[in-house]
Amino acid sequence: MAWLSWAVDDPAPAANAGYFTGGAWVIPQEVDAAQKAGAVIHSAAGNWNPPGYKPSDLMRSRGNSWDATIMLNGEVWRHRPRPTFCNWHAGGPAQNIALCGFEMEGTGPWTAAQKASIVRVIEETWAYFGWARFVMAGPTNKTQEGIRQAILAIGKGGAYEHDWLDYTSCPNGRDDWAWLTPAAIAAIAEEADMTPEDMTELKRYMTEQVLAIKRDINEFTTSQVLAIESRLAARLDALSPSAAVDIVAVAQAVRAEFERDPLK
């Protein structure tokens, strides 16, 4: 099945991709899939009013481009036929070559419909490239070489904020990593044909990602983090590698447990 074949098609300007210098394409408009490594989740910081005002209209006026837009109502607009284009969305060639770009319409918290859609877009994009892991990245030093090295260090399946890669306010505090990380990990795992080794890797990443979020926002002391780690490890160890396990439900239950009883 084609990538996001169910989405609304709104083609990005053909010229807004790749890098053309000195009469030649230094970086082609579409790159090999092996050069892609993850995605940036942006905030549109505003709203569209299709059919009169569409994402592609903004791309033409600003001279930029990205792969897909998730509207407030959850509708997904696809701007490229494949997620392999070198769009102009994240500040420079290092990040634009390696990372897809997804725009979230609006200025406030993600809507429930947007949450469902961004997970579906991530699941289908990760499946397109064969990425088996979802990893929340972190700030870079914002130099091209520094960004290249950071993307290599994170590896395939990294997820980024625009302000980790460039001097910008995007995504304006809208990215909900504490919710998205376990949801995306669960969706990707459900899509895959998991072996016992895959399940072990899933457990490890879920633990690392949730704890990283908690440490980043300084919500817990070191002793509380260790207590959470122990409780989460016990919960995840109860999982079976059987295909009958509802991994999505388990991930949601773990998240609900943190919200209900955060070890204050």
Q: Decide which of 175, 210, 245 is a domain's last residue.
A: 175
Instruction: Give Cα separations from 218 to 188, 191, 212, 222 (angstroms).
Output: 28, 33, 10, 10
Same domain, 100 and 206: no
Same domain, 75 and 202: no
Whether 181 maps to a domain, the answer reads: no
Same domain, 67 and 20: yes
Same domain, 202 and 159: no
Supply 39's token pair: 């995605």
Whether 67 maps to a domain, the answer reads: yes
Whether 188 maps to a domain, the answer reads: no
pLDDT at 248: 47
Contact between 102 and 42 (Cβ < 8 Å): yes
pLDDT at 258: 57
Whether 190 maps to a domain, the answer reads: no
Whether 80 maps to a domain, the answer reads: yes
Same domain, 124 and 241: no
Same domain, 43 and 143: yes
Same domain, 140 and 60: yes
CATH number of the CATH domain containing 20? 3.40.80.10
pLDDT at 101: 98
Per run of 10 residues, the mean pLDDT along the chain (length 264 residues) is 93 96 92 97 93 94 97 97 98 97 96 96 96 90 95 94 96 91 84 63 62 55 58 57 46 58 52
Cα four-point dihedral sign 84, 87, 89, 95: positive
Residue type, 161: E
Run of H or E including 24: strand 24-27
The one-character DSSP state at 13 is P
How far out from the chain centre does Cα 259 lie? 22
Range of the domain at 261: 197-264
Same domain, 97 and 147: yes
Which positions ≥6 away from 171 have C-beta within 8 Å? 41, 42, 43, 104, 161, 162, 163
Q: Decide which of 126, 145, 175 is a domain's last residue.
A: 175
Same domain, 223 and 121: no
Same domain, 126 and 225: no
Structurally, how many domains does the chain consist of? 2
Run of H or E including 8: strand 8-9
Whether 117 maps to a domain, the answer reads: yes
Whether 186 maps to a domain, the answer reads: no
Whether 157 maps to a domain, the answer reads: yes
Instruction: Match 């494949």 to its residue by tokens.
Output: 82
| Separation of alpha carbons 104 and 193, rounded Å | 30
Same domain, 137 and 241: no
Same domain, 208 and 171: no
